Amino acid sequence: MTDEQIVILAHEKFPDRAKTALGVMRYGDQDVRAVLDRDTAGDSVSDHVPDVADAPVVASFADALAAADGDVDALYIGISPIGGEFDESWRDDVEAAIEAGCDVVSGLHYFLNEDAALAALADEHGVDLVDVREPADDLTVASGASRDVAANVVLTVGTDCSVGKMTASLEIVAAARERGIDAAFVPTGQTGIMIAGWGNPIDRVVSDFTAGAVEEMLVELGDDHDLLVVEGQGSIVHPAYSAVTCGILHGAMPDGLVLCHAAGREAVHGYESFSLPPLADYVDLYEGLAAPVNEARVVAGALNTKDVDDDATAADAVDDFAADLGAPAADPVRDGADRIVDGIVDAGLGAE
């Protein structure tokens, strides 16, 4: 899933609701040759997202193949609706990619390999259907081994889903490496797995094995790095995803937490009848939930200010967020993650 020429499917969602597409474009090693979006076909990626490599936005896979002069290795499904279902309006593009000899990489809960028609077509054309959300079949319950890994462990946790936990994790790793800390990213979601090329899709793992799936990754990396940054999922107050959040928290047994929030967010995304608690409450919630397994405190905050146009207003929002947390904070995209890494180092969790 790295170092290849790809097309990303993001129909009717690019860019604002194409989190997977944007994550791969910003942080992956793949060369994105085109984006599929019927709504903005004819535009360029740079018309919408200025901080990633440019590519044409086209209406179909056939158009993408033509724009790339036939040089495409894979189609990535870069969006995932709530529930992770496959939209039948995508089928023509997926079939066209397979018929062109391209692999198809999907982060859906709907497994392409279990779609008889697509599986048969892929077999006929000798291509792979890669379901990154399909967990390994040898996962088991946690043993508590995460507590014994040599590396320090930091987990990004959120006030809600879709607040930038993966982005914060990757930016923290990059900033830590810049100052000489041997840091590594531990992916737990489909986009992180597509970027890193490995990982366990925690939201698809059997509940009893969730903590064990996180533990397995930490044990694999723990003796090779000084700092492991685990990508969090969901939120402890989320009415649908809180179980995943808790499983990662207990499986990682982190030494420190970075609380992630979206500026201006007041209700649970997609569940707007549920209001978010005050920011300071999250510190108690996460630290209290972690404590019975391994004490961890919130050492920094990451505030997503992408919906704030004015830099001065965004800076004020970050300052207010830091005050609410009682810890250093930054927007890791707008400001860089140095202040977040400062919080990690000041807590004794970095090695410079």
244-259 pLDDT tens trace: 999 999 999 999 999 9
Q: What is the pLDDT of residue 84?
A: 83
Q: Please state the pTM of the whole predicted model.
A: 0.93
The pLDDT tens digits of the residues spanning 299-327 come to 999 999 999 999 999 999 999 999 999 99
Instruction: Give residues with Cβ within 8 angstroms of 209, minimum separation 6.
Output: 135, 139, 140, 141
How far the first Cα of the chain sits from its last, in Å, is 31
CA distance 62 to 56: 13
Residue 72: CB atoms within 10 A of its CB come to 23
Cβ 199 vs Cβ 185: under 8 Å: no
What are the residue ranges in the chain where pLDDT is below 50? 352
Q: What is the pLDDT of residue 82?
A: 74
